[in-house]
Amino acid sequence: ETGVTQTPRHLVMGMTNKKSLKCEQHLGHNAMYWYKQSAKKPLELMFVYNFKEQTENNSVPSRFSPECPNSSHLFLHLHTLQPEDSALYLCASSQGLGQGPYNEQFFGPGTRLTVL
Amino acid sequence: GQQLNQSPQSMFIQEGEDVSMNCTSSSIFNTWLWYKQDPGEGPVLLIALYKAGELTSNGRLTAQFGITRKDSFLNISASIPSDVGIYFCAGPGETSYDKVIFGPGTSLSVIP
């Protein structure tokens, strides 16, 4: 247990569906992240939030829409996805941005997404 | 942009053997990180290195920050079945300490 939980753990959706991924951290952290992990590829940073404000959007298509209502919760809203969006989506949190040489990121277990 | 390369891509070893893997970059990194991802879980930080030449251990794991700042090495001694997983090197990007660049990973399998 890393203190970061993600739900659901597995999700299968059609290209016309709308679904949301949820992440919650119990570590008192202020920064939260979404990563995409595809087979045979490095983890790709998607979004970064610091104190509920989005600080990074790594050229992610608009069919992925993040939401951070408070420092403990992060959502990724999905709509009209493509089969190539199938991947493991990982959430992470850290103490906060710019507060040290490196703030260790704690990862959740991920949501395995399959788009049919 | 910054990229990390890891070798080998995958390894199959006998239990009890020592393991070595490395990570290289075309650009300088000021911090090197080694993460491990167990099957079905997210990555967990194993070791962080902050100075060129630094050698740091965490149990049976030892990592080194290369002198050129463009590489790092991870060694695992006396491997056991729970060492199975994917090992990622990573480092903060040029623009932000918190925008971490990950390598593609080395997949380790341990044969009992």
Three-class secondary structure of residue A58 per DSSP:
coil
How confident is the model over A55-81, as a mean pLDDT? 94
How confident is the model over A55-67, as a mean pLDDT? 93
Three-class secondary structure of residue B81 per DSSP:
helix
Residues of B in contact with A95 (CB under 8 A): none
pLDDT greater than 70 at residue B96 = no
Distance of CA A77 to the CA centre of its chain: 10
**Would you call B50 and A101 a contact, using CB atoms and an 8 Å cutoff?**
yes
Task: Find the closest chain B residue to A106 by CA distance.
Answer: B44
Task: Find the closest chain B residue to A47 by CA distance.
Answer: B99
Three-class secondary structure of residue B85 per DSSP:
strand
Residues of A in contact with B33 (CB under 8 A): 102
pLDDT tens digits, one per residue of A21-35: 999 999 999 999 999
Question: Residues with Cβ < 8 Å from B2, sequence gap 6 or more?
Answer: B25, B26, B27, B29, B91, B93, B94, B101
How high is the pLDDT of residue B1? 72
pLDDT greater than 70 at residue B97 = no
Measured between alpha carbons, how far is B61 from B78 in angstroms, rounded to an integer? 10
Tokens of B94: 């040029």
How high is the pLDDT of residue B22? 97
**Would you call A43 and B43 a contact, using CB atoms and an 8 Å cutoff?**
yes
pLDDT greater than 60 at residue A99 = no
pLDDT greater than 90 at residue A1 = no
Task: Find the closest chain A residue to B5 by CA distance.
Answer: A42
Of the pLDDT bands very low, low, confident and very high (cuts 50, 70, 90), residue B93 is confident
Tokens of B78: 């006396």
pLDDT greater than 90 at residue A109 = yes
Measured between alpha carbons, how far is B96 from B70 in angstroms, rounded to an integer? 18
Question: Residues with Cβ < 8 Å from B104, sequence gap 6 or more?
Answer: A40, A41, A42, B4, B5, B6, B9, B88
Top pLDDT among A2 and A79 is at: A79
Which of A41, A43, A104 is the closest to B45 by Cβ? A104
pLDDT tens digits, one per residue of B30-84: 899 999 999 889 999 999 999 999 999 999 999 999 999 999 999 999 999 999 9
Which of B31, B41, B99 is the closest to A45 by Cβ? B99
